[in-house]
Amino acid sequence: MADTKQDVLRDLLDVLEELTRLTTLEEGDVQSFRVRAYESAARAIEGYPGDVAKLSVTELQKLEGIGKSTAAKIREYLDTGKLAKLGELRAKFPASVVALLNVQGLGPKGVLRLRSELGVQSLDDLRRAVAEQKLRGLKGFGAKSEEKLAHTLARMAAQGEGRTPISVALPLAERIVAHLSEVPGASFVGYCGSLRRFCETVGDVDVIVAATYAAPVMDAMVAMSVVDRVLVRGDTKTSVVTRRGTQVDVRVVQPEQLGAAMLYFTGSKAHNVKLRQRALARGFTLNEYALAELETGRVIARETEGAIYAALGLPFIPPVLREDMGEIEAAERGALPRQISDIRGDFHVHTTVSGDGRSDLGDVVAAARARGYRVLAITDHAEGTLSGVGRDALLEQRARIAALQRELGDAMALLHGVELNIGADGALDYDLEFRRQFDFCLASVHDHFDLPRERQTARIVQAMRDPTVRMIGHLSARMIGGRPGIDVDVDAIFDAAEEHGVALEVNGGLPRLDVSVDVLRRGRDRKVTFVLTSDAHHATELDRVRFAALNAERAGVDPERVANTWDADRLLAWARARR
């Protein structure tokens, strides 16, 4: 099977990333302008909604951040599948040397010195050199940095070099925020960083505290039971590592500087750099304390993010968009994507009828009512999965739902749905006649994750052809930080979704966030309907639909494409439609 658009894009981004890392070593500087140029080129490619492979050198150069040289390299790679420059650099720096850049605390300068002075060519070499205490004699290193590296290497060996999945980071952050909020004098506590931007994995958790005195906050942080080790303990910044191995940075700022600090620590770095350049062009300078006049130092804005954006001539830009993928330019034009609000229903919810559901039907319905929903589809597992059930249990549930509907009246429409399992060859549970009796069917993959792309794509498209299927659940079936997604041709899925009028789920479960932001970005200009769901297995988990909304907003999906935001009549008509 020929490479699809997504393969080409992924490969191209990989090439640019490798080029960036190799150039970092070549130049011995992460801040090298060449390095930064490659980084911004990658962002431009990532944010381009169309098919990059179709762009000529001239057209590529029109994308911001891509100039003559990088455009030519991109075209060279797309046309020949190779990049001469990359070959040169690979010859100079073997992959095992490049991997040393992953060691926290070790930058390009350190890597180059270790290599030239001690002949360190790999992580194993480094471990040996550290064990033999060879680093302490080296210029620029000492006993203390050697000890630190030993710690870092041990940590890497124990848990891999992985970033922390959002499903771990977000609850951790919320716990820390709650704890630090108790400290007297802390007027605001919140998390920032990539977590606030809702990235799927985070390198660390950034917590920001507004307080006049820092010491009590820092004391409270290092005293938390989740803390394993303290890395840094300064006046404004403290860094710890949790027992699970997640780094947490806590910064204390003066209350009046909160806006500037939030902006700064939320990032992304690229977004911040753009804002500072914008500030300079207006005779201002922007740092984590304030937006101020360059000449006089007079403070222009600092208390809120909104005030700083306003002073830079921009509307507030939601954190999830701050990736320097065109959001500043869009903000300038007044063309930021619309926010997703007024979610009127959920279409993927489990009850105790599923083996893995933990809340009774009545509790789930009450929770949905409390959220002001107008539509709720109950979708327990069909018999095709381990947690699934047979026909009798579902018929019993149907009767209960009918009874509950009589109590509810017009307040909320209850749909008796089911989550069908998509078999290896696309077969669905039960038979067509039985499936037709449901108000709402979604179909998802729960097994056979290793099939080749053609078969994965074919099985899902086959399921989409079934006249009862209204929505495909968690398309990739990935678990962030755990199981990789299945290999599927996303463009073919979009085509089938358009052809058959089948929606794609935006699953709000943090381990899933499926479809991913990448898929959402690529689908936002297609005529595909997306549906936000909680995939709740407990009544309290209905709230996860907000994560689905954040993911869709990250991708800049227009609310019109999101069925949940439609008015109740349209939404209900869509859910009940038959082919």
Partner DNA sequence: GCCGTTTTCGGCCCGACTGTTTTCAGTCG
Residue numbers of the site for DNA (CB under 7 A)? 30-31, 33-34, 36-38, 40-41, 61, 64-71, 85, 103-111, 136, 139-146, 148, 193, 203-204, 206, 232-237, 247, 249, 265, 267, 269, 272-273, 276-277, 279-281, 285-288
434 close to 391: Cβ distance less than 8 angstroms = yes
Cβ proximity to DNA, 181 vs 287, nearer residue: 287
Q: Which is nearer to DNA, 145 or 304 (CB)?
A: 145
201 HSE (CA, 13 A, CB side): 11
Angle subtended at Cα 494 by Cα 563 and Cα 374, rounded to the nearest 5 degrees: 10
Q: How far apart are CA 386 and CA 369, in angstroms?
A: 30
Q: How far is the CB of 268 from DNA (least distance, A)?
A: 9
Please, what is the end-to-end C-alpha distance for the chain in angstroms?
Answer: 31
Amino acid at 288: E
**Minimum distance, C-beta of residue 252 to DNA, in the bound complex (Å):** 9
Question: Residue 493's closest CA among 448, 463, 469, 452?
Answer: 463
Kindly state the DSSP code that residue 565 receives in the 8-state scheme. G
Smaller CB separation from DNA, 161 or 454: 161
Residues 6+ apart with CB under 8 A from 541: 509, 534, 535
In the complex with DNA, the residue whose CB is nearer, 85 or 391, is 85
**3 state SS of 530:** strand
Could you give the CA distance from residue 117 to residue 79 in angstroms, rounded to a whole number? 40
CB of 287 to DNA, least distance (A): 4
Shortest gap between Cβ of 205 and DNA (angstroms)? 10
Residue 115: CB minimum distance to DNA, A: 12
Nearer to DNA, 163 or 538 (CB): 163
Report, in Å, the least distance between residue 138 CB and DNA: 9
DSSP reduced 3-state for 301: strand
The residue (of 136 and 483) whose beta carbon lies closer to DNA is 136
Least separation, in Å, of the C-beta of 276 and DNA?
4
User: In terms of CB distance, is 328 or 503 closer to DNA?
Assistant: 328
CB 6 within 8 A of CB 70: no
State the nearest-atom distance from the C-beta of 292 to DNA, in Å.
Answer: 9
CA 238/CA 31 separation, integer angstroms: 25
> What's the rounded Cα separation, in Å, for the pair 309 and 317?
8
Q: Element (H or E) spanning 492, and its range?
A: helix 490-500
CB 347 within 8 A of CB 341: no
Tell me whether strands 237-242 and 247-253 are parallel, antiparallel or unpaired: antiparallel
**Shortest gap between Cβ of 60 and DNA (angstroms)?**
9
Contacts of 351 (CB under 8 A, 6+ apart): 357, 359, 360, 361, 364, 378, 380, 397
> Vertex 484, ends 482 and 489: CA angle to 5°?
160
Select 131 or 232, whichever has its Cβ closest to DNA: 232
Q: Nearer to DNA by C-beta: 186 or 571?
A: 186
User: How far apart are CB 404 and DNA at their closest, in Å?
Assistant: 49
Q: Are the CB atoms for 111 and 125 separated by under 8 Å? A: no
The helix (run of H) or strand (run of E) holding residue 323 is: none
User: Of 40 and 354, which has the nearer Cβ to DNA?
Assistant: 40
- The DSSP code for 117 is H
CB of 546 to DNA, least distance (A): 25
Radius of gyration from C-alpha coordinates of the chain:
26
Comparison of 96 and 285: residue with beta carbon closer to DNA: 285
Token readout for 20 is 């960036």
Least gap, CB of 237 to DNA (angstroms)? 4
**Beta-sheet pairing, 227-233 with 237-242:** antiparallel
Nearer CB in complex with DNA: 206/553: 206
What's the closest the beta carbon of residue 362 comes to DNA, in angstroms? Answer: 46
Distance CA 211, CA 412 (A): 45
Cβ proximity to DNA, 10 vs 136, nearer residue: 136
Separation between Cα atoms, residue 566 and residue 361, nearest integer Å: 25
Q: How far is CA 346 from CA 338, 471, 535, in A?
A: 21, 12, 9
